[in-house]
Amino acid sequence: MISIALPKGRMGDKAYRLFESIGLECRAMAEGTRKLVLESEQSDVRYLLVKPADVAIYVERGAADIGIVGKDILLETEPSVYELLDLKMGACRFAVAAPNGFVDDTDSILRVATKYPNVSKRFYQRKNRDIEIIKLNGSIELAPLSGLSDVIVDIVETGTTLRENNLSVVEDVAPSSARLIANTAAYKFRQEQIDEMVYRLAEVIA
Ligand code: PRP
């Protein structure tokens, strides 16, 4: 049986529909259960419902064979997994954003609020800009509005959150979308099965 770590939420629902379309359906998934391990009746598949930020940990450690995770999380945590396929969903971008009209005072250290300290550090290192990271867990846009930070490095999807809070993108950092990842040992052990799955998923999203 192959274990698939799905992120709970919108991306996971969409990803599940992809797996369903290649024959890996699981009736319990549609029943709105609170179960976290769902076994498919028709196929040799078990779905694990995981917090999005934890999917790569389950896959890296082999608790799941494959998983669906945002490229943003892969860039931040750099797990030791194989990235097999861009699912072309959950598309968004990392960007630096600041209050409208922001001008960077390069004489002082830039205060950067973010959920993604590693991505932010790497981005500013390349630019040789001294920064101070303020690690937050959510509602990042509040940081520059309240004076906690000068800018944010965050995910922008539709841009609505920025717009409604009088913030705008200052610089793009990197694009992101959902990726199919595999545990390295599981991939060696089940290469044929996983490659077949990747091939069929690629056909569906093409
Ligand atoms: C994410 C991100 C932005 C928002 C961007 O937050 O951190 O706040 O979505 O989406 P938009 O461009 O479509 O407005 P999320 O909803 O994950 O919640 P969070 O504030 O708890 O991080």
Ligand 1 centroid–CA 173 distance in Å is 16
Contact 67/46 with Cβ under 8 angstroms? no
- Report how far residue 59's alpha carbon sits from residue 46's, in angstroms, rounded to the nearest whole number: 13
The pLDDT-based confidence of 32 (bands split at 50, 70, 90) is confident
137 lines ligand 1 (CB under 6 A): no
Structure pTM? 0.94
- Please name which of 136, 118, 107, 119 lies closest in space to residue 171, comparing C-alpha atoms: 119
Contact 47/37 with Cβ under 8 angstroms? yes
Ligand 1 centroid–CA 143 distance in Å is 13
pLDDT of residue 204: 95
- Listing DSSP states for 30-65 in one string gives GGT---SEEE-SSSSEEEEEE-GGGHHHHHHTTSSS
The CATH number fitting domain 92-174, selected from 1.10.3720.10, 3.40.190.10, 3.20.20.140, 3.30.565.10: 3.40.190.10
141 Cβ contact partners less than 8 Å away, ≥ 6 residues apart: 97, 152, 154, 161, 162, 165, 167
Which CATH number is associated with domain 2-90+177-205?
Answer: 3.40.190.10
By alpha-carbon position, which residue is closest to atom 17 of ligand 1? 138
Q: What is the mean pLDDT of the chain?
A: 96
Reported as a single tens digit per residue, the pLDDT across 62-102 is 999 999 999 999 999 999 999 999 999 999 999 999 999 99
Ligand 1 centroid–CA 36 distance in Å is 24
Domain ranges of the chain: 2-90+177-205, 92-174
The mean per-residue pLDDT over the stretch 121-139 comes to 97
108 Cβ contact partners less than 8 Å away, ≥ 6 residues apart: none
Pocket test for ligand 1, best of 151, 156, 160, 166 (most atoms within 8 A of CB): 156
pLDDT above 90: residue 29? no
Ligand 1 centroid–CA 26 distance in Å is 29
